[in-house]
Structure 1
Amino acid sequence: MTSLWLDRAPRIETDEFEAGQQFDEVIVGAGITGLVAALLFSRAGRRVAVVEARRVGAVTTGNTTAKLSVLQGAHLQQVQAYSYRAIVKAYVEANLEGLAWMSRYADDQGIPIQFKDSVSYAATPEGVRTVNREYDIAKAVGLPVRRGTDVGLPFETHAAVVLPDQAQFDPMDVLATLAADVRSHGGKIFEDVRVSRAKAGDPAKVFTNKGQLLAQHVIVATGIPVLDRGLYFAKVKAGRSYAMSYRVDGALPPGMYMSVDSSLKRSVRTTPSADGDLLIIGGNGHTVGRDPSPKSHVRDLEEWTQQHWPGAVRTHAWSAQDYETPHKVPFVGWMPRGRGRIYLATGYDKWGMTNSVQCALTLASDILGGNTPWAKVLHRRITTPRAFAWGVGYNAGVAVEYAKGYAKALLRGLPDSPPDEGEGVVGRDGLLPTGMSTVNGVVCRVSAVCTHQHAVLSWNDQEHSWDCPAHGSRFGADGTLLEGPATRNLRLR
């Protein structure tokens, strides 16, 4: 599954890695957070290196739907429900700054960007109340929202809240420009270099598969932290969702849309292409590793698209992973036991285009000594009883997944014959949980135990991967690490 953005991405120049180099900041992860932070530091005259385990934009940024919106479905009421009004206001101010910064940067650099209305809509009568709550909260914190019903979609919407002058773009255009800008300011970008751990000190040491780097500060911007300091892998929930692009005859919707209905989550936008605008549909999110058939979610999304845009021709299908925090706002700042040397940003909950920029701005302010009022408010956030309960409930679910995974794996032996094409099974090989799969005619046997915290993996029938139901790590059919807090491949059996 290759995204539209990655398929048409421009070539990005990077640098040759040399072990032993020393920098002011080493940034782990070459998505928008990492590259915006790298640019901010390099503009300030700092020596900066960005270290990416795969390719620039390969994971979350290159697979997003890339909507820059401060109206985020029904997210503002989620923030208020799990925190309090001052946090909602600071969160909105932070996202407004993220939107403004990225809009200015795109204009300065000539990056194509389209300004559109952002719409949160109710596709069912049950969603009207949610729309009304989102409108009231958005209005209360100063957003110029308006109500509506006919918002340009080819199906009935029962209520909608509209925020004008939001934006969308191709995220790989942005990353290519940021990468070139970072390098023009003397920064280095290293691909195919995987960080396994870091040691706080003066300087801090960053350990990779190709050698060690030294830094005054280390920033972990990898979706979910690949360092276990602070136990952030247990503080966020990994979610996976799907997107597809289509060629459509006839009129396309004029705005950017997100449904608020809990039973029917849909994202709708368009994007320019060489042969005319394309329609992009997203949705059907679920917790990583806990769904029996991710393929069914893609099938459902295709059927829904054909119902409302008959004859639409699919050009690309892809998926993305993001992380939800208990209080619904990102974790950003210094990591515990990091001696003021190690920082992180995580937990964008599928709204990374504005949150990634505001987190980069926060990190630059924290390290360089800026004065950002909204960042101070978000830093001083208090965990409410409801947010605490969310965390307890989620980790109780993780414990259940451990028990279920080992029980299923150890109570049945691995089949004698390989599974059908595109399928994978987990069973006991001796006393070891083992996964066996068949992909493109190749049969692979791997350890079915995650290399991070040893949960038993499950098979993803859409992406032909082994996914961890505990903390969201993912591995290819051959055991190659794809993403998540894990830093090692699976062992072959």
Structure 2
Amino acid sequence: MNSPLWRDDAPTYPTSPLPTDRRVDLAVVGAGFTGLIAALLAAREGLSVAVLEARTVGAGASGATTAKATVLQGTRLSTLAQTHSRELAADYLQANQAGLNWLRDFCREQGVSTQAATAVTFAATDSGIENVEAEHQTAQALGLPTVLHDSLPAPFPVHAAVELPGQLQLNPTHLLAALVRAVNLAGGTVTEHVRVTGVRADTDRVRLTTSLGPLTARQAVLATATPITDKRATTMELVPQRSYLCAFDPDPAVEIPEGMWISAESPTISLRTYTDGDRTRLLVGGQGHRTGDFRPTAEHVDTLTEWTMRHFPGARRTHAWSAQDYHPVGMVPHVETLHWGGGRVLFAGGYSKWGLAAAPAAALQLADLLQGRPPQLTFGSPSVSGTLKTTLSRQASAPVSEIRNLARTLTGSGGHRGDAPDDSTAEDNGAAVFREGIHPVGEAFVDGRTCRVSLVCPHMGGTLAWNGAEESWDCPLHGSRFTAGGRLLEGPAVKDLKRH
């Protein structure tokens, strides 16, 4: 796979060195949408703010998103209403609507190009019709002006569809650049290539250990998709998932439906167009799966490509990439003060791939919490019974192979990892995996050299799986990912893998 389409003409980000005085009011870890918007709101309220990014601005999901901002999110509203309550679904909708409104206003003020688009949730098969109808009914009850259709003209099967006009799509790198500029203008700083490896809260401050030296802050926000360094409840309640996106040059003779489409069935198919000058691309995404799935990851890109070629003949694939997001067990994003942070460390994340509207909403909540104000909006508080129902439902519907593979990872036994004798090897989707004593070791041949690393995740000891499409070692427990040579890419881990 190659890099996201958005990086072909990505603007430059005006970043800064780490603050020389090494003391600020607020340290924000992570320069994606959540971190940058939270930093901007705090800086505009007069706080001194430093944003620290381990890689580059938007290196995570923010720079690899489909970039669809909508409050019609597949069948999410009806699922929330059925699993928890209509009141929680209303809170969730209100928060996302506030986030979408903030995003629209910011883009207008900063001159970020956006396109108004209709969002469509469609049933690709008869089995999805009931879910589409339920989403329409819930949306109507919550005040959304959705329209229900028996079908819509499209080159793929549409057995029913619900649509919502007036939503938004954009190029995420343009938004990221505008946010960095706005943070700088408000007096904050954004520093790339500085990894935070430790967060410790004292009675009156938060001490951060970084790859460029220490930083002290009055408060800290972990805007890192899942909270780095955390090994408690919040991390356990966020499930890492990877999904895939392909960009195509379509055949001009084949009509492309307007709008932002997503199927009601799983695995989902997601579509939108992106026009740059006189060139229009077709974006097709989906095929989500838990990070560290043992199946060959390249198969997911192949599936999306085959689907596109079947329904849009003559299309030529130009890009293929993936992104990682986290799904909360309770189904609503986490915006919270972490228990171990002495009341000074906050976290926001878990958007289930709908972060373009949810991230601004989360940042608005963070702004209130940082100032000691009751949040003006929340995503709602999931019930214990609803969370348990969701967890049991996911477990019941999970393929037997997925459950078996997760059990192998947790126990370190079974399959070619646990059953291989000392010093023996087995192929794992293009990489060799074996044991040295009781320690799992991985070996991959990348860029003309052989890399051998420990397969024990330094976060909480999960056994890593090889991701052949992206040439990385991925942890199925909490989503930490590493290069073939063991360098940390993303996730809650803060250390590289041990080399062998």
Q: TM-score, normalised by structure 2?
A: 0.93
Per the alignment, in what secondary structure is the counterpart of residue 337 of structure 1?
Answer: helix
For residues 432 and 80 of structure 2, the distance between their equivalents in structure 1, rounded to whole angstroms, comes to 39
**What residue is the counterpart of 2:211 in the other structure?**
209
**What residue is the counterpart of 2:387 in the other structure?**
387
- Cα displacement (A) at 1:425: 2.2
**What residue is the counterpart of 1:253 in the other structure?**
257
Q: Does 1:299 align with 2:302?
A: yes
The farther-off stretch of 203-212 and 128-137 is 203-212
**What residue is the counterpart of 1:183 in the other structure?**
184
For residues 320 and 450 of structure 2, the distance between their equivalents in structure 1, rounded to whole angstroms, comes to 25
Consecutive unaligned residues in structure 2, runs of 5 or more: 397-402
Q: Does 1:461 align with 2:468?
A: yes
Written as runs of structure 1 = structure 2, the 5 A alignment for 1:94-173 is 94-173=95-174
Per the alignment, in what secondary structure is the counterpart of residue 325 of structure 2?
Answer: strand
**What residue is the counterpart of 1:360 in the other structure?**
363
In 2, are the aligned partners of 1:330 and 1:348 still within 8 Å (CA)?
yes
- Cα displacement (A) at 1:149: 3.9
For residues 437 and 18 of structure 2, the distance between their equivalents in structure 1, rounded to whole angstroms, comes to 42
**What residue is the counterpart of 1:242 in the other structure?**
244
Per the alignment, in what secondary structure is the counterpart of residue 220 of structure 2?
Answer: strand
**What residue is the counterpart of 2:400 in the other structure?**
none
In 2, are the aligned partners of 1:77 and 1:134 still within 8 Å (CA)?
yes
Per the alignment, in what secondary structure is the counterpart of residue 272 of structure 1?
Answer: strand
- Cα displacement (A) at 1:280: 0.4
Distance 1:361 1:98, change over 3 A: same
Identity of matched residues, %: 39
**What residue is the counterpart of 2:67 in the other structure?**
66
Q: Does 1:26 align with 2:34?
A: no
Q: Does 1:489 align with 2:489?
A: no
In 2, are the aligned partners of 1:229 and 1:335 still within 8 Å (CA)?
no
Distance 1:399 1:241, change over 3 A: closer
The CA deviation string for residues 409-455 of structure 1, in whole angstroms up to 9 with x for no partner, is: 243147778979x8212111233210011123321110011111111
Q: Which amino acid aligns with 2:350?
A: G
For residues 305 and 486 of structure 1, the distance between their equivalents in structure 2, rounded to whole angstroms, comes to 36
For residues 227 and 452 of structure 1, the distance between their equivalents in structure 2, rounded to whole angstroms, comes to 8
Written as runs of structure 1 = structure 2, the 5 A alignment for 1:375-414 is 375=378, 378=380, 381-391=381-391, 400-403=407-410, 405-407=412-414, 408-413=416-421
- Cα displacement (A) at 1:458: 0.8
Q: Does 1:316 align with 2:323?
A: no
Q: Does 1:436 align with 2:443?
A: yes
In 2, are the aligned partners of 1:419 and 1:438 still within 8 Å (CA)?
no
CA root-mean-square deviation: 2.2
Q: Which amino acid aligns with 1:107?
A: R
- Cα displacement (A) at 1:18: 4.6
Q: Which amino acid aligns with 1:291?
A: F
For residues 232 and 476 of structure 2, the distance between their equivalents in structure 1, rounded to whole angstroms, comes to 20
For residues 410 and 336 of structure 2, the distance between their equivalents in structure 1, rounded to whole angstroms, comes to 34
In 1, are the aligned partners of 2:426 and 2:433 still within 8 Å (CA)?
no
The farther-off stretch of 167-176 and 16-25 is 16-25
Paired residues in the alignment total 488
In 2, are the aligned partners of 1:448 and 1:456 still within 8 Å (CA)?
yes
In 2, are the aligned partners of 1:234 and 1:395 still within 8 Å (CA)?
no
In 2, are the aligned partners of 1:423 and 1:439 still within 8 Å (CA)?
no
Q: Which amino acid aligns with 1:92?
A: L
In 1, are the aligned partners of 2:330 and 2:382 still within 8 Å (CA)?
no
For residues 9 and 162 of structure 2, the distance between their equivalents in structure 1, rounded to whole angstroms, comes to 33
For residues 20 and 416 of structure 1, the distance between their equivalents in structure 2, rounded to whole angstroms, comes to 53
**What residue is the counterpart of 1:8 in the other structure?**
9
- Cα displacement (A) at 1:29: 0.5
**What residue is the counterpart of 2:487 in the other structure?**
480
In 2, are the aligned partners of 1:76 and 1:88 still within 8 Å (CA)?
yes
For residues 227 and 394 of structure 1, the distance between their equivalents in structure 2, rounded to whole angstroms, comes to 27
Q: Does 1:228 align with 2:235?
A: no
Consecutive unaligned residues in structure 1, runs of 5 or more: none
Q: Does 1:424 align with 2:431?
A: yes
Q: Which amino acid aligns with 1:23?
A: V
The farther-off stretch of 327-336 and 383-392 is 383-392
For residues 176 and 151 of structure 1, the distance between their equivalents in structure 2, rounded to whole angstroms, comes to 37
For residues 286 and 341 of structure 1, the distance between their equivalents in structure 2, rounded to whole angstroms, comes to 34
Distance 1:470 1:38, change over 3 A: same
- Cα displacement (A) at 1:20: 5.4
